[in-house]
């Protein structure tokens, strides 16, 4: 399954010990990228009231496996949109669905090079600080 490859191939974040997190142990064993030129990457984003933290500030363009871990008390989600001229621009380029407190939700995004904002799309969450920059190169 493509998603499994993405999550396992370039993950440098230890998440196997998280309470309630799906076990990732063994997913990467013997699995090679689909093509030698493929550049898959992975980020883990922590959400809590009212901030986001990402395991990486920069990822290579292409397929990005994303995990949203909600360490807060309220539900949160995640969106990614380009920033042009200092403002959000164009459509939402990727999303992670609503994640309850303590939950971990995965998604796979395809991102072109550029400057992006990751943010929680729930009302007032972005304006309260749940937003960070992600550079794609
Ligand atoms: Cu939120």
pLDDT tens digits along 19-69: 444 444 444 444 444 444 455 799 999 999 999 999 999 999 999 999 999
Q: Tell me, in angstroms, the distance from the centre of ligand 1 to residue 67's CA.
A: 15
- The Å distance, Cα 112 to ligand 1 centre, comes to 25
Where residue 117 falls among pLDDT bands split at 50, 70, 90?
Answer: very high
Average pLDDT of the chain, as a whole number: 82
Beta strands (DSSP E) in the chain are 41-48, 51-54, 58-59, 62-70, 76-84, 87-99, 104-111, 114-119, 131-136
Compute, in angstroms, the gap from residue 47 CA to the centroid of ligand 1.
7
Q: What separation in Å is there between the alpha carbon of 131 and the centre of ligand 1?
A: 9
CA distance 20 to 22: 7
Q: Is it the case that residue 136 has pLDDT exceeding 50?
A: yes
Distance CA 92, CA 102 (A): 25
Ligand 1 center from residue 76 Cα (angstroms): 4
Q: What does the pLDDT read at residue 85?
A: 95
pLDDT of residue 39: 59
Q: What is the pLDDT of residue 14?
A: 44
User: What's the pLDDT score for residue 40?
Assistant: 72
Separation of CA 129 and ligand 1 centre (Å): 9
What average pLDDT does the segment 82-101 reach?
A: 96
Please give the residue that has the higher pLDDT: either 55 or 11: 55
- CA of residue 37 to ligand 1 center, whole Å: 36
């Amino acid at each position: 399954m493509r998603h499994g490859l993405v999550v396992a191939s370039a993950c440098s974040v230890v998440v196997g010990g998280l309470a309630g997190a799906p076990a990732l142990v063994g997913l990467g064993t013997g699995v090679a990228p689909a093509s030698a030129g493929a550049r898959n990457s992975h980020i883990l984003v922590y959400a809590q009231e009212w901030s986001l933290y990402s395991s990486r500030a920069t990822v290579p363009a292409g397929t990005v496996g994303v995990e949203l871990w909600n360490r807060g008390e309220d539900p949160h989600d995640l969106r990614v949109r380009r920033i042009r001229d200092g403002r959000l621009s164009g459509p939402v380029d990727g999303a992670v669905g609503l994640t309850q407190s303590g939950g971990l939700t995965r998604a796979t995004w395809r991102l072109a090079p550029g400057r992006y904002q990751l943010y929680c799309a729930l009302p007032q969450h972005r304006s309260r600080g749940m937003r960070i920059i992600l550079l794609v190169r």
